[in-house]
Amino acid sequence: MSIVVTGATGRLGRLVVEGLLETVPATRVAAVVRDPEKAADLAGRGVELRTADYGDPDSLKGVFRAGDRVLLISGSEVGRRVPQHRAVIDAARAAGVALLAYTGILGGPEADFELASEHRETERAILDSGLPYAFLRNGWYHENYTANLPAVLEHGAVVANAGAGRVASAAIADYAAAAVAVLTGDGHENAAYELSGDTAWSLAEYAAEVGRQSGREIAYREVPAEAHREILVGAGVPEAFAAILVDVDHAIARGRLAGTTGDLAKLIGRPTTPIAEAIATALRDRPEAWSGRRS
């Protein structure tokens, strides 16, 4: 029996594999990748590489084994994910895997925003498959915000249409640690975990914390949805995805990403990473973005 991570060269997948290698022998870990060259370092550490592509159902035939515990990391191609996920589910069912864990979104069937729709359909497909499952309903990542810090510091503003809504985000490493706990632990069959940070914060509070740590004046600038969409498109975001991000902000305004269930901290056995720590890490890793800091 192997512990199999799909999408293993992505941001989350890499962290899950690293966490597994700290927990179980490398001979128990298998990584499903599209390009084996990108995972050559993992193979060199004893991880088994299995080559497949979500978008090519034939490539998934035989990629899983009976008794495997599988982590299906949701695909990155928004709008194409349901058939891709179904192909993985079908292959897992045909193989007779022992557990299929899936990285969905906070709220599961109750999440009513557009980005959640493919996750809802995937969860239904997993339930229909009859496979033992674990739903890892991930909330927002800190990194969804800190990756944009250079632009925030350049313009002196956090721009959004989220109103006074709050976000219970956590570090991507926290979510990876939760996946490792489920894949290596017992008693997680047919369970759903609502995973989020311990503390929900507003974008005004986020802007203030960025300002405090960078020594710059940073404001939260709330704009109408259409203006936000135009800003995103002007910054190079594809129109379809810009619309999804604007819709997520509407969801934040309605409190859809503010839940603090405690499930994530329980699974990882420690408090989740605070947003202030994620900001500090991003500023430390990108000093060129704020070299003009004032004391």
**217 SS3 class:** coil
Place of tokens 């490493």: 173
Ramachandran quadrant class, 262 (left: phi over 0; alpha: psi -120 to 50; beta: rest) = left
Cα 140 from Cα 179, distance rounded (Å): 15
Q: Residues 242, 202, 204, 156: is their CA dihedral positive or negative?
A: negative
The residue ranges of every structural domain in the chain are: 3-138, 141-169+196-258+273-290
| 187 in Cβ contact with 155 (< 8 Å) | no
Instruction: Identify the burial level of 139 via C-beta atoms within 10 angstroms of its C-beta, where 0-12 means exposed, 13-18 middle and 19 or more buried.
Output: buried
The residue among 192, 214, 188, 210 whose CA lies nearest residue 201 is 210
Structure confidence by residue, pLDDT tens digits, 74-121:
988 887 899 999 999 999 999 999 999 999 999 999 999 999 999 999
Structure confidence by residue, pLDDT tens digits, 44-61:
999 999 999 999 999 999
Structure confidence by residue, pLDDT tens digits, 254-291:
999 999 999 999 999 999 999 999 999 999 986 555 44
Q: Over 30-88, what HEC string results? A: EEEECCHHHHHHHHHCCCEEEECECCEHHHHCCCCCCCCEEEECCCCCCCCHHHHHHHH
Length of the chain: 295
Under CATH, which number does the domain 3-138 receive? 3.40.50.720
Report the DSSP beta bridge partners of residue 195. Answer: 138
| 116 in Cβ contact with 87 (< 8 Å) | no
* Confidence (pLDDT) at 207: 98
Mean pLDDT, rounded, for 181-193 = 97
Architecture, CATH, for domain 141-169+196-258+273-290? Alpha-Beta Complex (3.90)
Please give the model's pTM, rounded to 2 decimal places.
Answer: 0.94
* Confidence (pLDDT) at 177: 98
